[in-house]
A and B are shown apart, each in its own frame.
Chain A
Amino acid sequence: MPLDNVVFWVFAPISVASAIGMLLMRNAVHAALFLVVNLFTIAVMFLLLDAPFLFAVQIIVYAGAIMVLFLFVIMLLGVDRGDPTNEPLVGQRSIAVILAVGFVLEVTFALRAGIGFATKAPPGFDRVNLGGNTQALAKVLFRDYFFPFEVTSVLLIVAAVAAMVLAQRRAKAITQAEIEAHRDDFAHIRDAPAGGLEGGPHLDPEALR
């Protein structure tokens, strides 16, 4: 049995099992940890498919940055209550599972009819990846897809600004009418005689000299 078959058959069941584990966990933190396992196994699949650059990006961006963001929000909101078990739509869960199984069967049959289960990847990917996968990818990215790449940077900046706008706590606006309404509350301070308020501690103007 060739080595990459072994790696596939070790990691594919882990991938499916961790995805199902994420689905069934009541606790959001446990689900997030299962998702980390799943993202890591998908990264291994990228490596098997001769995409080492995307393997690294997957681990850094998904398993690193995005999952930290998820865990941060889970802990910020303190979401440790489980899902409520009531169903607003009767039979929604069972129908969802039936549809998912149907989808998997459909994909399987379509693949069997289309490319077949014996089709192996053609040799010669080394020629495409000449000089290394990262360099070859950079050539395609910066030669053929340069404009989309620049648009992506705009998208990231817009997303960062949007996150700040959405998540900030808004200060309550004070209207002119509220200022007028509260003006009389401070009238005794404004209209106090120059010697200070009666009854309270006050500064002796002579002491300041």
Chain B
Amino acid sequence: MIDILSKRYLYFAFSLLVILPGLIILGARGLPLSIDFTGGSLLEVKFEGGTALANAELHQLYENAGIDDAQVQTTDSGTLQIRSSFLSNETRDTILNEMRTQSGGEVSVIRFDSVGPSIGAAVASRAALAVGVAALAVVIYITFAFRKVPNAFRYGACAIIAMVHDVAVVFSVAVFGAMFFDWQIDSLFLTALLTVIGFSVQDKVVVFDRIRENSNVLRRLEYETLVNHSIVQTLQRSINTQLMTVEFLLLALALFGGITLREFAVILLVGLFSGTYSSIFIAAPILVLWEKREWKNWFRRGATA
């Protein structure tokens, strides 16, 4: 049988390697929050017929309407996205009319989002609350589901640690996405994040369930061997469910699913992969580490993990 657990510190190091750069950049640059959380407006337009306005002209147009923080971006599909602070519907109409006059053609609105600042702040705080409540509910649920196993709380706690790992991976991806592809943290990102949390826990439960079952049958085995055994037994399922099926579906969504869903699909893709990875390489090893209380050896001179 493959020995997975003995190299556990290697996995921890690997995860840190993936997570840390993202988190450092995150700390330095901050999160690129979308108007869903900060409030503001996003106007996506397409010039048809007339001449498309240059960025400077658009800036001027916004400034004339009393908005001096407009940012213009050209999308892959040839439309223009203009982000700015909150636009009332009247201001928007003024700006659109002005665009039409200046370009001499039709200007069609592809998308217009306008979020008042108070709503944005409320959404952000409620989102944090939702994640917190979800995490808490999960610990309670797992502790309850594993109540007949010794140290049931550990399973819940390990699931949460692994979940935090997955969340960190997702943020790491988002930060790089923001750097290179101008991704923004919006409510769709939040949905993806919460899904990752849900599926991460689902995956932990499958592995833990096998440990639960084996600890009744194979009572004599040492804990580490038992956990290793359980991981190997569920390995095929993990690979098939995650890599083959879920990732197939998401990959199809990312590749063919249209621009609106791409960011969402990629985040789910990475997040769900991380969810499976962390069940095997983070959550289970920590269970063993906890059982053996290995932290006592960490700072001892010459100790090997």
Pairing of A with B: no
A contact residues vs B (CB 8 Å cutoff)? none
B contact residues vs A (CB 8 Å cutoff)? none
